[in-house]
Amino acid sequence: MEKVTLKVFRGDVMGGELVTYEVPTQPGMVVLDAIHYIQKNIDGSLAARWNCKAAKCGSCSAEVNGKPRLMCKSRVDEYPEGVITVTPMRAFPLLKDLVTDVSWNYRVSAKIPPLVPKPEVAGKPFRMQQEDVDRVQEFRKCIECFLCQDVCHVLREHDRKDGFFGPRQMVKLAALEMHPMDNLNRREQLKNEAGIGFCNITKCCTEVCPEHIHITDNAIIPLKERVADDYFDPVQGLLRRVGLIKREKKQPMDSVPNEQTRIHTESLQRAK
């Protein structure tokens, strides 16, 4: 049987190193299969996340030869050199081996209120045409793998998690902002708390999205335009004030109660 060489990061906050494993290959094998082989046959304590093994849940994110990838969607035969390096996502604090603390993503996500239906459709079945929801459905394909967050330089190199929600949350906000029935004004949050201005459209996020969501072209750029229209365009502002452009009036963010959801995570200290 043929073999593949895996160099897997082993370690935690105290430090770590790449450890080399030889794993027999099978037709159609993916990197996650190789990780499972190691756990089962070589070292049961190798930490990695996974659930669906079919690129549907977004659990198995890691960096394969330095690129943010889903391990269950990375075919071993894509790497003909026969050496594959697997390391954890770099933009998030390391827990152990391939597992990082991604809870920040859930905490910022919790700041985005869910859909608030327009008063005229509240409690009634929606009537929406397919072409009016195509756009929103693209964004709702997101599996929350956070690979886009991992690659975005604002979060990865500059660690501006205090100022920018990141591309995943831009996609989430786009799905709400462009939902035909949503009644909440999302633009204020986009501009301020979510920090859309931090994005300088490098498109790295779009390149790594396993769901092929056009994060920059379809979500971030149109959102930037909407925010700009609202806040920075004097002509639009004037036309609106004299009533030549009508924009639907949506209710402000602070009109909905913001219930506190707490996401608990464990400290990075090793239990003895």
Which residues, numbered 229-258, are part of the site for another protein (CB under 8 A)?
Answer: none
81 binds, among ligand FES, another protein, ligand SF4, none (CB under 5 to 8 A by kind): none
Going from the C-alpha of 215 to that of each of 7, 131, 198, 208, 253, the distances in angstroms are 31, 19, 15, 10, 24
Cα gap 272→267, rounded to integer Å: 13
Q: How far apart are CA 68 and CA 86, in angstroms?
A: 10
Site for ligand FES in 70-89 (CB under 6 A): 70, 72
The token pair at 259 is: 């219930």
C-alpha span between 144 and 125 (Å, rounded): 28
**CA 194 distance to own-chain centroid:** 14
The yes or no reply on residue 146 touching ligand SF4 (CB under 6 A) is: yes
- Whichever of 200 and 260 has its CB closer to another protein, that residue is 260
Specify the residue for token string 């902002």: 177
The region of 15-23, 54-62, 157-165, 187-195 touching another protein under the rule CB under 8 A is: 54-62
Question: Considering CB distances under 5 to 8 angstroms, the limit depending on partner class, which of ligand FES, another protein, ligand SF4, none binds residue 216?
Answer: ligand SF4
Scanning 162-170, 171-179, 200-208, 223-231 for contacts with another protein by CB under 8 A, the matching segment is 171-179
Total of chain residues touching ligand FES, rule CB under 6 A? 12
The region of 50-58, 74-82, 119-127, 181-189 touching ligand FES under the rule CB under 6 A is 50-58
Matching residue, tokens 């770099």? 90
Dist. CA 2–CA 76, nearest whole Å: 12
CB 177 within 8 A of CB 226: yes
Closest approach, Cβ 205 to another protein, in A, equals 19
Report, in Å, the least distance between residue 33 CB and ligand FES: 11
Cα Rg for the chain, rounded, in angstroms?
Answer: 22
Which of residues 12, 50, 121, 192 is near ligand FES by CB under 6 A? 50
Site string for ligand SF4, 194-233 (x = CB under 6 A): -----xxxxxxx--xxxx-x-xx---x-------------
